[in-house]
Amino acid sequence: MLRIAVQSKGRLYDETMLLLEEAGIKLNKGKRVLLLSAKGFPVEVLFLRDDDIPQSVANGVADVGIVGENEYVEKGGQAELIKRLGFSKCRLSLAIPKDEEYNGVEWFEGKTIATSYPGILEAFLKQNKVKAELHVISGSVEIAPGIGLANAIFDIVSSGSTLVSNRLKEVEVVMNSEALLIANKKLTEEKKEVLNELLFRFAAIQEAEGKKYVLLNAPRENLNEIIRVLPGMKSPTVTPLADSEWVSIQSVIAEKHFWEIIGKLKSLGAEGILVLPIEKMIL
């Protein structure tokens, strides 16, 4: 049985649970809300505070964990980084009052900075040879300048709306963060097998992200030009139609290039274009 530690609430919780569901991991409901087993797959999910996950995985309370990179780095990265998951992206930034003039990191010299991430901030200040006083607090860091507790803050930024509502402005991005899959460094072979299956499922989900499955009919005489426009994983699938002058073509395209490619296909005589979402992609 592989035990997975996940955040107990928040945006990372929501996106993690969606990933597990898409990977076919359905949890049994029970009275023990902190630890739930899965149906038909040898895993159980342990719900923890986000800042407890790295150490819980490192010391073996959980076998693997899904955690924000910010917490993983702050806690020293003692667990093994297995995979970047690509969701819950944010950044750790320094922010100062909106009306302050900012000319560089030297602004923070002698200032007080409120943060929940003293380790990452200390390393950044040391690298830039800046001496500042850190005021470590958990939660509601953004209010610190407004109540006179600090001159600036160092905290997670996603959209930036929280900064704006507290009359702050982002001036330095110290690190970017996303969800990580981490693991205990001493997993048994049995648990490694379960982890590998889990990684296979995650990869199939991630591979399908941002891609569309396209089917279309096109004139055979334009086939070579269409193939150059419409590459697939290796090459498009081409099937003859009852009308020998026409073929059916199937392929996968990236959504970010979708309209550009569709326009080129139409100019080459493509008709009956059908676009389908992709849930999983096994390479």
Residue 139: per-residue pLDDT: 80
Distance CA 110, CA 133 (A): 7
Q: What is the pTM of this model?
A: 0.82
75 lies in some domain: yes
pLDDT band at 10 (very low <50, low <70, confident <90, very high): confident
31 lies in some domain: yes
241 lies in some domain: yes
Residue listed under structure tokens 């200390």: 122
Residue listed under structure tokens 């982002």: 170
Work out how many domains the chain is built from and give that number: 3
Same domain? 192 vs 58: yes
Same domain? 52 vs 170: no
Angle between helices 189-208 and 11-22 in degrees, nearest 10:
100
pLDDT digits (tens, 9 = 90+) for 108-151: 999 999 999 999 999 999 999 999 999 999 888 999 999 999 99
Question: Among candidates 66, 35, 43, 42, which has minimal Cα distance to 53?
Answer: 66
What Cα–Cα distance (Å) separates residue 96 from each residue in 65, 92, 112, 134, 140? Answer: 33, 13, 11, 14, 15
pLDDT band at 232 (very low <50, low <70, confident <90, very high): low
Residue 175 CA, chain-centre distance (Å), reads: 14
pLDDT band at 31 (very low <50, low <70, confident <90, very high): low
Same domain? 45 vs 173: no
Same domain? 103 vs 203: no
Residue 152: per-residue pLDDT: 97
pLDDT digits (tens, 9 = 90+) for 152-168: 999 999 888 889 999 99
Same domain? 191 vs 134: no
Share of the chain above pLDDT 90, in %: 74
Q: Which range of residues forms the domain containing residue 112?
A: 90-177
Cβ pair 37, 44 in contact under 8 A: yes
Strands 152-157 and 112-115: parallel
Average pLDDT, the chain: 92
Distance CA 149, CA 48 (A): 29
Q: Where are the alpha helices (DSSP H) in 114-167?
A: 118-127, 161-165
